[in-house]
A = this chain, B = another copy of it.
Amino acid sequence: MKFPSVPKDKKIDLHKWDSSQKELFPAGKEEAQAELNQLSLRIAELQKCLYAEHKHKVLFVLQGMDTSGKNGTIRNVFQAVSPQGVNIASFNKPSPLELDHDYLWRIHAQTPGKGEIVFFDRSHYEDVTAVRVNKLMPKSIWSKRFDHINAFEKLLSDEGTIIVKFFLHIDKETQKERLLSRLKEPEKRWKFDPSDLVARKLWKNYMEAYEEVLERTNTAYAPWYIIPSNHRWLRNLIVAHIIVKTLEDLKMSYPEAAMPMDEIIID
């Protein structure tokens, strides 16, 4: 399967970027679901080995507009993995203590240690998108952050962290459908937040902010993938494929027993 990576040194226009792309998996939804189940089993195997080897640190970053499916992606792709094997760090509105520090302070604290996989559900990229679009900081502040972020991710990478970043791309029409369905279903209604409508009004500004993110922070050591996310099954399938490839590329193996096998006597 071809992964939709982000071209280097090119202008990115998210309005023209197809967020459906069903042609990437012509066999369709049911086949995709069967393949996803297989992939999630493979991810569970790879996670166990990662934990045992205690060598690599793995960080997946998820960004996207409301209803793009950050939670759903994690739930589906990691369906077979023990919850012990994956930490989800959700970055909502910063607390007063967090606001007293630099914006990477709370982020750095949640980065994975050896043998760990961490998912960032939102991340430091809010500090150059939401912060920018809602004018929470002047440009003189947020414009410096692209360099900080690249340097921060370079540090993590140089010190042994594998970083992969996903932008879950939906179009505005898809968001409308999903927000409406949230309102229709009593069990989903709690998810509806009036501030989502504010963000929706600023859609164009958000896309501009994300375009700059994708252009400026798509590095060899922390690449972005733009995931067409209008179809949940396709979104999950692509993310699962990328995660399997990322983990397989580590060429992991289980460590040997701590002493030679023929010397171990259990009486």
Contact = CB atoms under 8 A, between A and B. Distances in A.
Nearest to A98: B113
Interface residues of A, number: 29
Interface in A88-122: 97, 100-105, 108-109, 111, 113-116
B102 A160 contact: yes
A161 interface: yes
Contacts of A158: 141, 144, 148
A159 interface: yes
A105 B114 contact: no
| Total identical chains | 2
Nearest to A101: B113
A29 interface: no
Contacts of A22: none
Interface stretch (A44-52, A73-81, A149-157): A149-157
Contacts of A151: 147-148, 151-152, 154-155
Interface in A140-182: 141, 144, 147-148, 151-152, 154-156, 158-161
Nearest to A116: B100
Nearest to A114: B100
A152 B159 CA distance: 14
7 contacts: A101-B113, A102-B155, A102-B156, A102-B161, A108-B109, A141-B159, A151-B152
Given A148-B154, A152-B155, 16 more contacts: A54-B100, A57-B101, A101-B111, A101-B113, A102-B111, A102-B155, A102-B159, A105-B108, A105-B109, A105-B111, A109-B109, A148-B155, A148-B158, A151-B154, A151-B155, A152-B152
